[in-house]
Amino acid sequence: QKEVEQNSGPLSVPEGAIASLNCTYSDRGSQSFFWYRQYSGKSPELIMFIYSNGDKEDGRFTAQLNKASQYVSLLIRDSQPSDSATYLCAVMRYGQNFVFGPGTRLSVLP
Amino acid sequence: EAEVAQSPRYKITEKSQAVAFWCDPISGHATLYWYRQILGQGPELLVQFQDESVVDDSQLPKDRFSAERLKGVDSTLKIQPAELGDSAMYLCASSLSGTSQETQYFGPGTRLLVL
C-alpha cells in the first residue's frame, strides 16, 4: 500500500463548479497535511496546510481533515480555468519528511 | 518576496556524463531539501540538510549521486555518471527549521534530460 494515495485523474469540472480532490494516507501518526498546486512544467506552490480535524477555509479553498479515516480533501469553490493544474497532497509526521502523493490532475472547462 | 533559486533551469546531457545542480534557499532557512520528480509522479525526497549536516539521505543513490551544503547556505547536487533513468525534474525546497508544522517552499526546478 502506498503511503499517500490520490486519484490521478484527470478530474474535469465545469467553470464555476466545486472541485473536490481527495487524499488518503497510511501512517496514523501523520500530523501535518499540505496541499500544493503544480502547473505543468513548474514547481509546486503551497495552497494551504491543515493540522487539526475539521475544515479550514482560505478564500475559495477549503481543506478538510479526518484523522480517524486517514483522509484529507481539498475543495475548490467557483473553479476557474486557471485552477487547471495537478494538485499534490503531502503528509508529514514529526521528525520525518514530507511524503507526497502522485497528484490529481484537475481540468476546469470554460 | 524571498524565493528559492535554482540553476540551471534546463540541462541536457549524455549518459555517463557528470551533471551538477545548484540551489540557494530562502535566506535564514536552515533546512534544505532536494527532490526528484518523475513525470506523472509526486516529488520524492533525495536528501535533507539541516544547516550543513545531512539528516536524511536514505533515498539518495549514493553510487552516483552526491550532495553537499558546505557552509550551510547554498547546496549542490551532483550526478556522476548520469543514466537515462535520471531524466526528471530536480526540485530544491527550503524551510525555516524543518519541523512538522513548517511549509516547504520550492524553487523553480531543474529539468534534466539524459540522452
3-state helix/strand/coil string of B71-98: CCCCEEEEECCCCHHHCEEEEEEEECCC
Per-residue pLDDT of A29-79, as tens digits, reads 888 999 999 999 999 999 999 999 999 999 999 999 999 999 999 999 999
* Contact status, residue B91 vs residue B107, Cβ threshold 8 Å: yes
- Work out the minimum CA distance from B110 to partner chain A, whole angstroms: 9
Q: Kindly indicate the confidence band of residue A8, based on its pLDDT and cuts at 50, 70 and 90.
A: confident
- What is the C-alpha separation between B39 and A8, in angstroms, rounded? 12
Instruction: Respond yes or no on whether the N-terminal peptide bond of residue B61 is cis (omega within 30° of 0).
Output: no
pLDDT tens string B7-52: 999 999 999 999 999 999 999 999 999 999 999 899 999 999 999 9
Q: Cα(B53)–Cα(A63) distance, rounded to whole angstroms?
A: 34
Q: Given B42, B104, B111, which is nearest A101 (Cβ)?
A: B42
- Whether residue A86 contacts residue A38, with contact meaning beta carbons closer than 8 Å, is answered with yes
How far apart are the C-alpha atoms of B6 and A50, rounded to whole Å?
Answer: 28
User: Are B41 and A94 in contact (CB < 8 Å)?
Assistant: no
Q: In chain A, pLDDT over 70 holds for what percent of residues? A: 97
Of the candidates A108, A49, A50, the residue with the CA atom closest to the CA atom of residue A80: A108
Band (pLDDT 50/70/90 cuts) for residue B112 is very high
Contact B45 A4 (CB under 8 A): no
How far is the C-alpha of A25 from the C-alpha of B79, rounded, in Å?
Answer: 32
Per-residue confidence (pLDDT) for residue B103, from 0 to 100: 84
Nearest to B107 among A36, A43, A103 (CB): A43
Q: How far apart are the first and last CA of chain A?
A: 37
Q: Are A106 and A18 in contact (CB under 8 A)?
A: no
Please provide the average confidence, as pLDDT, over all residues in chain A: 93
- Is the per-residue pLDDT at B98 higher than 70? no
User: Residue A7's pLDDT is what?
Assistant: 87
CA neighbor of B74 nearest in space, from B29, B43, B106, B105: B29
